[in-house]
Structure formats: C-alpha cells, structure tokens
Structure 1
Amino acid sequence: MTSGARTVGDLLDAVERRPNLAVDADLTLAVDGRDIDVRAYDDLVAVELPSLGAAVALWRGRPFDQTDAAVALAAAGLTVELRVRGAPVARLGAKAVPGDLTRRLGFGPVELYPEGALLALVSARRG
C-alpha cells in the first residue's frame, strides 16, 4: 500500500486522485497448463481464455475478491474483458455496465454476457 494508506478504501481514494492508467500488453500466460492470452490497449485489457471451464477455474481460483478487483479497476480507469473463444463473457471495471443480477449479488462494477457464454459453448461443440 502507498504511504499513509491503511485500508483498501484509503488506497482506492489515492488511486482515484491520480490520472487513469493506460496499459499496453501482448502476452501469453500459462495457468494450470492452459494458455491465457492477454492483450491490452489503453484502458481495455482483454483476457482470452480457451474454454468456459478455464474461465470458471480462473474465477474460482482467484487470489482476490472479484468485487475488490472490479472496484480497483474502475478507480484506475481500467476495464478487463474476459473472453472465451473470442466471445466476451464478463467485463469488470470502469466500462462495465452491471445488470440486475450482478447488482443483486453485490459484485460491484461487473457486467456478465450470458449470450457470450452460450456462444462459447456452441463454438466448443462445433470445434
């Protein structure tokens, strides 16, 4: 944490007072034997996953709370879009538009794309 920040709230306040971040990345990560492509341009970070199973495993095995991550991303002016086989399945952060379900579940700035998950399932059966 930055000097003077004692809570996550203090850290978020400090981040909100700074200019938005811009990210430029083009990399591939290996997580549990699965390749995950990460492409970032300016304020959007696209995370390409090979399957819905990989997306669920990533969601379950995360070392952080999804609400904290989404709020921190929004405070920094960043958006992460999770994609499976090219289809967006979730968006977290600044440009996420939460629906009724995510608001009721208290997920913060998280947008889910059920049609993207369905498209990923259909493309997996064809491939």
Structure 2
Amino acid sequence: MATSSDLAATVGRVARAGDRFDVTANLSVTVDGVDLAVSTVDDRIRVQVPSVWDGVRLGRTERVRLGRLARILADAGETAEIRVGDAVVAVVGDDATPGRLDWVLSEGPVETHPRAVVQAAFRLR
C-alpha cells in the first residue's frame, strides 16, 4: 500500500513531466483524528473539513505537508477547495491567489478566505 509521501512523490513526478491528468475522487480520509471527505466537482478537488477548529488544528500540525501538497497541485495544474459546510475557507494549488498574510502563514500557493472562516466558525460549531 502506498503511503501519502509515495502518492505525493508520484503526483509530483507526473506534474514535472508535463503530463495532464484528471482527478476523480470520492473518499474519506482521516488525518490526525480528523475525518475529511475528499471529492471532485467539475475541475476542483473539494476537501470537506468538519469544523473551522479542526481545520486550524490540521493547518498547524500539517503545515509543511499542506505547503508541499499546494506546490504539487499547482505544478499539476490542479486546485483544491478547503470547505467547512458550504463555505470555501481556502483555495490550494493552481488557482490560489495568496495574499501577503498567506505567504507569511503558508509554505506554498494557499489562499485563505478570512471572512468565510469567521462565518463558518459562527455557523458550525
């Protein structure tokens, strides 16, 4: 069974080779005890996080991996939305447009939406 680093390395190799690939997903993943739902809609990967607090915790504990994943997605021409409920709290990868704060906080192309984070925090507890 491939580990997450094996998968990241494989996707990275494909991206560097310039090969285009399509991503189709509908799965559940547990990272540090947080259950994530990963799916694809149209040309976007959606990562559904149960709460803002879980997302913040994962952002702190998985910061380096998130940065690596963001760079791999960007190299592959892919984009992921990080969602809490129906709020898009971050965009990661090719379509991300990081602001100044994003460059300070992240390791790669990650665009956070602070207003959506605040709204999601008060809607979903």
Report TM bin, short chain: 0.7 to 0.9
Normalised TM-score (structure 1)? 0.73
Instruction: Provide closer, same or farther for how the CA distance between residues 18 and 82 of structure 1 changes in structure 2, counting only shifts above 3 A.
Output: same
Per-residue displacement from partner, 1:51-108 (whole Å, max 9, x unpaired)?
A: 0111022222328443322111100111111111221111110011111222345643
Instruction: Provide closer, same or farther for how the CA distance between residues 16 and 48 of structure 1 changes in structure 2, counting only shifts above 3 A.
Output: same
Amino acid at match of 2:78: L
The structure that has the greater radius of gyration is 1
Instruction: Provide closer, same or farther for how the CA distance between residues 12 and 47 of structure 1 changes in structure 2, counting only shifts above 3 A.
Output: closer
Q: How many residues align?
A: 115
Instruction: Provide closer, same or farther for how the CA distance between residues 24 and 106 of structure 1 changes in structure 2, counting only shifts above 3 A.
Output: closer
Normalised TM-score (structure 2)? 0.74
Unaligned runs of 5+ residues in structure 1 are 1-10
Give the helix-richer structure, 1 or 2.
2
Counterparts of 1:91 and 1:64, CA distance in 2: 16
Q: How large is the RMSD of aligned CA atoms in angstroms? A: 2.6
Offset at residue 16 of structure 1 (A): 3.2
1:21 match: 21
Unaligned runs of 5+ residues in structure 2 are 1-10
Instruction: Provide closer, same or farther for how the CA distance between residues 74 and 60 of structure 1 changes in structure 2, counting only shifts above 3 A.
Output: same
Identity %: 36
